[in-house]
Amino acid sequence: MTSPESTARVAFRTAGRDDLERMVELIADDSVASRRTGSFGPAHVAGFEAIDSSPNDELVVAELDGEVVGVMQLTYIPGIARNGATRLHIEAVRVDARLRGLGIGRLMMEHAHARGRERGCALAQLTSDKQRPDAHRFYRDLGYVQSHEGFKRSL
């Protein structure tokens, strides 16, 4: 395979309902996330519909030669901290496991940053499970500063 590091082969678009099962499959196909994603069902449909109707959330899919190979969720968070900055908050970044290391993830993040700038964001932020050292290197290489501890709690 030629490297997909070519915008001619990789394209981005807002996800539609028809992409949902594939997106859930991508999110679940991961040693860290598989045990918590669950098999496809009504909860994913409800989650998709809530994102689709939110003015501040969007799901983006990456296509390689027309096939969906990546997904990420972008949330635009307005704020009064950091001099009123709007934040681009990124969740659920996933590239098809068979296609990792080819530069698709980098193109996705560059697309996310461009979308954030379009929405007036001054800052991008994300967290990554401490079990993912390769992802941490990836984000540092993209200019991210590993400045925070990330906390989660069930409600």
Which residues of this protein are in contact with a second copy, per CB under 8 A?
20, 23-24, 27, 33, 36-38, 41-48, 50-51, 54-57, 59, 73, 75, 77-89, 91-92, 113, 116-117, 121-130, 136, 139-140, 142-155
Mark 29-64 as b/e (b = at least 16 C-beta within 10 Å).
Answer: eeeeeeeebeeeeeebeeebeebeeeeebbbbbbeb
Distance CA(58)–CA(14), nearest Å, equals: 7
With CA atoms as reference, report the closest residue to 38 among 24, 22, 48, 51: 24
Select 10 or 73, whichever has its Cβ closest to a second copy.
73
Select 98 or 153, whichever has its Cβ closest to a second copy.
153
Distance CA(62)–CA(123), nearest Å, equals: 22
Taking the complex as a whole, the smallest distance from the CB of residue 62 to a second copy amounts, in Å, to: 16
Taking the complex as a whole, the smallest distance from the CB of residue 28 to a second copy amounts, in Å, to: 9
Select 59 or 104, whichever has its Cβ closest to a second copy.
59
Select 8 or 155, whichever has its Cβ closest to a second copy.
155
With CA atoms as reference, report the closest residue to 95 among 124, 125, 122, 60: 60
Taking the complex as a whole, the smallest distance from the CB of residue 8 to a second copy amounts, in Å, to: 25
